Chain A
Amino acid sequence: MAIDLTTLTIKKAHEGLMSGDFTAVELSQAYLEEIKNKNADINAYLEVYEDVVKQAEEADRKIKSKININLLIGIPFAIKDNILIDGRKVGAASKILEGYVAPYDATAISNLKEKGVVFIGRVNMDEFAMGGSTENSAYGVTKNPVDTSRVAGGSSGGSAAAVAMNGALVALGSDTGGSVRQPASFCGVVGLKPTYGAVSRHGLMAMGSSLDVIGPIGKTVEDVEIIFDAIKGQDKYDSTSFYPHEESGQRCPLTTLKIGVPKRIFDQGGIDEEVKKNFNDTISKLKSLGHTIIDIDLPNISHALGVYYVIMPAEVSSNMARFDGVKYGNIKKGDTLLEDYLNTRGEGFGKEVRRRIMLGTYVLSSGYYDAYYGKANKVRNVIRADFTKAFKEVDVILTPTAPTPAFKIGEKTKDPLSMYLEDIFTVTANLVGIPAMSVPSGVSSEKLPLSIQIMAPHFKEESFFV
């Protein structure tokens, strides 16, 4: 039977699988067919796994014998190319990792394997998750399925595009400064950045270790919640992982939410007029639904992006030091060991990665450390304290997800700073460590998706879910 992939959700797929309307093999084949038709143009997938049908057969076998029945059994996933699956190629869309095969499973992946999901393939991204458009991938840009002259966003552009083009029911991405939420916004799907530590980083290639978190992308809030529930929790392999055992019991009340909107949110330049209008319309709509809108003061929020672009490159320059062509990856040999390093890293890393390593090396160098890295960390604490204070008054805080709808391919590649400004609303949640979710809130006059971002206090993801 033909499966309507456009309106499919995890629960609907589960019902279909349980009632025998379709098998897991048929479900996966429906997605493979879409990929065959669309991926050459969209370029969401870097690799479609050869054993998809075999994985689905395994799920069907369990469904038939009623073993391990759960909502995620047989559900097709796309996985960002920086999350390790044992025995499969993974490369962070970088030439320096060409041919690398993961020696173990990321914890989020083991969690999904226990549920019996089907991994369709690995999807494109900005190299090592550095970028907001997937234009920094060594394997070409991912086009936006809504308008193929535009970017899918980034860095998890392949994850968002795969879901939007019906190339997978759901996907995993990673978010260091907005990399799950912004592409979700550009492609018109839902993206969740969990609380820092709520999902183990074990097996996620490190970018900014105090900021990184794995997050789900799906078509509905419910789908994202189901995946989050499957991958969250403390993990002995990530000492920074933590999730309270008790449910907070504060699920989203449908009528009585206190919603904070930061004052002077649009003071900063570069915010698209349609984004502003859509945000204000959304706020009015929420008010008319009975929610209370409260103007809140986040006095240092305008400095978040500056703080982020000091701390993130500093952590990047440290984390990227491991790629030396000695232990793994694609070595470019010279006459001496030093030349091996210079060639391997000079040729293996793309331009944006090199730029951030240099910037990080600068802000960490003696003489500049206090003025940049030291100061940024202090301001980070001040911003965190501002949010704690704000959350005493409100349940959630709302902003747009991105300052613009999806932009044209090539529009921002000449000026790195203009690309960095894309992160203006999203980086704060990473600096503070709080959860944030991007939800579609309408379309622009050019029919491009727009989204709002909802932020909640640490470990209060439940307040996003009805």
Chain B
Amino acid sequence: MIEIKDIQKLATLSRMKISPEEAESLRSEIDSILGYVADINKVSLVDVPDEEMRRNVFRDDKDSNVSGEYTEKLLALSPDRDGNYIKVKKIL
């Protein structure tokens, strides 16, 4: 059974402020969803051939676009900007 303090912990980890009322409703909702999905543990795993396994496909981090092509457009979207920098509050 998932507890309120677990919900609060998850909210902190997820960087979301939630009200005590929402924490309470999330507790019961997440509990019932976890109860439903726990059924997957009943599946007896069989050996699956390699070609059925999914794999990650990566590309090299190069040649994506011309350098600087999107700089102005992307910076213009930031809520707080100083020249070519995005401003954030002090971290430490």
Asked if A pairs with B, the answer is yes
Contacts of A309 in B (CB 8 A): 33, 36-37
Contacts of B5 in A (CB 8 A): none
Also in contact, A375 and B77, with CB within 8 A (given A357-B14, A358-B11, A358-B30): no
Chain B, residues 22-49, CB within 8 Å of chain A (1/0): the string is 1000100110111011111111011011
Check B14 against A355 for contact (C-beta < 8 Å): no
The number of residues on chain A lying at the interface, defined by a beta carbon within 8 Å of a beta carbon of chain B, is: 61
A385 to B52, CA, bound (A): 6
Check B37 against A382 for contact (C-beta < 8 Å): no
Nearest B-chain residue to A356, judged by Cβ: B33
Chain B, residues 63-90, CB within 8 Å of chain A (1/0): the string is 1100000100110011110000010111
A329 touches which one: B16, B46, B63, B79 (CB < 8 A)?
A: B79
Also in contact, A385 and B49, with CB within 8 A (given A359-B30, A417-B32): yes
A239 to B61, CA, bound (A): 11
**Secondary structure call for the A interface:** helix
Check A375 against B33 for contact (C-beta < 8 Å): no
Contacts of B34 in A (CB 8 A): 359, 362
Nearest A-chain residue to B58, judged by Cβ: A239
A416 to B29, CA, bound (A): 7
The number of residues on chain B lying at the interface, defined by a beta carbon within 8 Å of a beta carbon of chain A, is: 50
Check B43 against A357 for contact (C-beta < 8 Å): no
B90 CB, nearest partner CB in chain A, Å: 7
Complex interface: stretch among A43-51, A141-149, A164-172, A339-347: A339-347
Check B18 against A376 for contact (C-beta < 8 Å): no
Instruction: Tell me whether B1 is interfacial, beta carbon within 8 Å.
Output: no
A292 to B6, CA, bound (A): 53
B13 CB, nearest partner CB in chain A, Å: 5
**Secondary structure call for the B interface:** loop
Instruction: Tell me whether B4 is interfacial, beta carbon within 8 Å.
Output: no
In the complex, which of the residues B16, B43, B64 has the most CB atoms of chain A within 10 Å of its own CB atom?
B16
A416 to B34, CA, bound (A): 12
Check B45 against A331 for contact (C-beta < 8 Å): no
Instruction: Tell me whether A447 is interfacial, beta carbon within 8 Å.
Output: no
Nearest A-chain residue to B70, judged by Cβ: A103
Nearest A-chain residue to B45, judged by Cβ: A378
A459 CB, nearest partner CB in chain B, Å: 14
A307 to B39, CA, bound (A): 9
Nearest B-chain residue to A349, judged by Cβ: B16
Which residues of A, 98-150, contact B by the 8 Å Cβ criterion? 100-101, 103-104
Check B54 against A303 for contact (C-beta < 8 Å): no
Contacts of A384 in B (CB 8 A): 48, 52, 54
Nearest A-chain residue to B92, judged by Cβ: A337
B67 CB, nearest partner CB in chain A, Å: 15
Chain A, residues 354-367, CB within 8 Å of chain B (1/0): the string is 11011101100100
Check B10 against A355 for contact (C-beta < 8 Å): no
Instruction: Tell me whether A371 is interfacial, beta carbon within 8 Å.
Output: yes
A357 touches which one: B16, B32, B46 (CB < 8 A)?
A: B16
A361 to B7, CA, bound (A): 10
In the complex, which of the residues A237, A307, A382 has the most CB atoms of chain B within 10 Å of its own CB atom?
A382
Check B57 against A379 for contact (C-beta < 8 Å): no
A184 to B48, CA, bound (A): 34
A11 to B73, CA, bound (A): 38
A326 touches which one: B6, B73, B86 (CB < 8 A)?
A: B86
A448 CB, nearest partner CB in chain B, Å: 27
Check B45 against A354 for contact (C-beta < 8 Å): no
A388 to B13, CA, bound (A): 39
Also in contact, A340 and B29, with CB within 8 A (given A354-B18, A361-B14, A375-B40): no
Instruction: Tell me whether A310 is interfacial, beta carbon within 8 Å.
Output: yes
B26 touches which one: A327, A347, A355 (CB < 8 A)?
A: A355
Check B36 against A417 for contact (C-beta < 8 Å): yes
Also in contact, A328 and B39, with CB within 8 A (given A351-B22, A384-B52): no
Check B77 against A100 for contact (C-beta < 8 Å): yes
Also in contact, A379 and B43, with CB within 8 A (given A327-B78, A328-B78, A358-B7): yes
- Given contact pairs A327-B86, A417-B29, a sample of 7 additional A-B residue pairs in the complex whose CB atoms are under 8 Å apart: A103-B73, A337-B91, A340-B89, A342-B16, A357-B14, A382-B43, A384-B52
The contact sample of 28 A-B pairs, CB cut-off 8 A, is A103-B77, A236-B59, A306-B37, A306-B40, A307-B40, A309-B33, A309-B36, A317-B14, A326-B79, A331-B80, A336-B90, A337-B90, A341-B15, A346-B17, A347-B17, A349-B16, A354-B14, A355-B30, A357-B14, A357-B16, A361-B14, A378-B48, A380-B54, A382-B48, A385-B46, A385-B49, A388-B52, A417-B36
- What are the nearest 9 A-B pairs in CB distance? A346-B17, A328-B77, A103-B73, A239-B59, A342-B17, A337-B89, A341-B15, A306-B37, A331-B79
- By a beta-carbon cutoff of 8 Å, the part of chain A in contact with chain B is 100-101, 103-104, 210, 236-237, 239-240, 300, 303, 305-307, 309-310, 317, 324-331, 336-338, 340-343, 345-347, 349, 351, 354-355, 357-359, 361-362, 365, 371-372, 375-376, 378-382, 384-385, 388, 416-417, 420, 433
